[in-house]
Amino acid sequence: MDKLGLIILAGGLSSRMGQPKALLPWVNGESLISHALRKGLEADVDDIIISIGDDDQLGHAIQTHIIDTLSNDEKKKVSIVRDSVERRGPLGGLYSALAVGMSPAYAVMAVDMPFMPMDLYYDWLYQVNHNNWNVIVPTGSRGKPEPMAGIYRPHIVSLLPSILAGKDVSLQHALDTIGHVESIDASDYDWELSNVNHYDDYQWARALAENEFRRVPLISVVASKRKTGKTTVVTRLVAELQRAGFSVGVVKSDKHGFQMDHEGTDTDLSYKAGADAVAIAGPNETAIRIRTKEQSNLYEISQFMPVDIVILETRSQGIAPIIEVTQEGHTEELISDSIDRVAIIEISKLDQDVPGLVRHIQEMMRCLNGRRYC
């Protein structure tokens, strides 16, 4: 089987997210649906079917968004399908898509699995050394099958109407009924198989995606006012992350100017004499002082630091992902965009909030260091 088609399931109600997942912003100007679509197009998939459910208003919004993101040549490869059966969940979407499918088999990708790469489907396909299968389903490290990231043959569509007419329309029940289901060990790919079901999941997944191509990952700590506690949060995060084994850099903006060197030192005298840059290297630390015509870009500075992660402390130049520090009861004064903000820390609840925040950052760093995401 030289090529797979791709079915993107994008018709869910997103009740746990509270808003349509497919249209949520991702990175580089993409949405979750356009991100999934791009992966299929970049993998040279000629037959992409997007299932958009049976909700007219949501379906129209997704359809319009998809059409606006495609070139004329790309439109020839993409079909948009509405559910032919009402309120039957992912199985209804799968049935409606397979019913019009022309490829010998389809990789199925849920729109809320943003780290699922196309090449994994081919890896799993080639692990099955016979042709007597209806479905190939990966199983994660907890032993749980992930049918929304499986490979399906279109001929099973004739077996689905009786299941859709019953009370149990879960994909797992369908697999148990269909038979000839091959299970693939995907225990090393839990992150790729993970769903962004809740807004918190989405924010941290997006934080990982934002840091994917940075030379040095970063996280910003911002506050709407001075003396709110940014530095307290930063120093606490530095200590906790260092205890977890990460080297941490800090970049801080200061609108009022500062004096790093001591009056009368050799480097200070050289700098005052007109040197554009002076540096001093000691046995345990190095300092570089550079003359600039304007305030340096904090992001550019962060990318040259020889550390695992940088914390950027600033009031107005926060770069996603962002942690915003506030005083108790002052959340109405938040200045960061909720899409970019992964956490709000009330300074009075520092001990309560920091452990969970550190766990999220550690998980992000483990994923980044593994470089297994797409």
Residue 178: Cβ within 10 Å count: 16
List, as one string, the DSSP characters of 314-352: -SS---SSEEEEE-TT-GGG--S-TTTEEEEEEGGGHHH
pLDDT at 129 over 90: no
**pLDDT band, residue 261 (cuts 50/70/90):** confident
> What is the reported pTM?
0.84
**pLDDT band, residue 83 (cuts 50/70/90):** confident
Tell me how far apart the alpha carbons of residues 367 and 206 are, in angstroms, rounded to a whole number: 13
Strand 286-290 to 322-326 pairing: unpaired
| Residue that has been written with the tokens 């943003």 in this structure | 114
pLDDT digits 0-9 by tens, 311-338: 999 877 689 999 999 987 666 678 898 8
Average pLDDT in the 92-107 region? 94
Task: Give percent of the chain above pLDDT 90.
Answer: 56
Bridge partners (DSSP) of residue 51 are 9, 81
pLDDT digits 0-9 by tens, 191-239: 899 999 889 999 999 999 999 989 999 999 999 888 888 999 999 999 9
**pLDDT band, residue 309 (cuts 50/70/90):** very high
Tell me how far apart the alpha carbons of residues 34 and 66 are, in angstroms, rounded to a whole number: 7
Give me the pLDDT at residue 374, please: 40
Give me the torsion for CA of 16, 320, 364, 200, rounded to 10°.
Answer: -10
